Amino acid sequence: MYVACRSVDRGQQAVDDIVSQTGVSSSQLPVMQLDLASFQSIRSFASSFKQSKHLVYELIFLVSALLEQHKYGNY
């Protein structure tokens, strides 16, 4: 599984939380920078991912900002 996020630092914090709560190895959760609001970022991510020779079986989007807006009715 890859963790793709705008901020690599925040992505790494999420990985650290996952590792501490599940015991899974952090080597199984590589963090990659991806800003969906930037076509350059998307192309860079796609190029890097393609070079890794891994396949995409599923995409899971966790959009915490949208969830927070929904939670407080600010959508």
13-46 pLDDT, tens digit each: 999 999 999 988 988 889 999 988 899 999 999 9
Sign of torsion, CA 59 68 17 31? positive
Please give the Cα distance from 2 to 45 (Å, whole number).
11
Could you read off the pLDDT of 57-67 as tens digits, one per residue?
Answer: 766 666 555 55
**What pLDDT score does 41 carry?**
92
Residue 74 scores a pLDDT above 50: no
Quickly tell me which residue has 């914090």 as its tokens.
13
Within 10 angstroms of residue 1's Cβ, the number of other Cβ atoms is 11
Please give the Cα distance from 7 to 27 (Å, whole number).
18
Max intra-chain CA distance, the chain: 41
**What pLDDT score does 75 carry?**
41
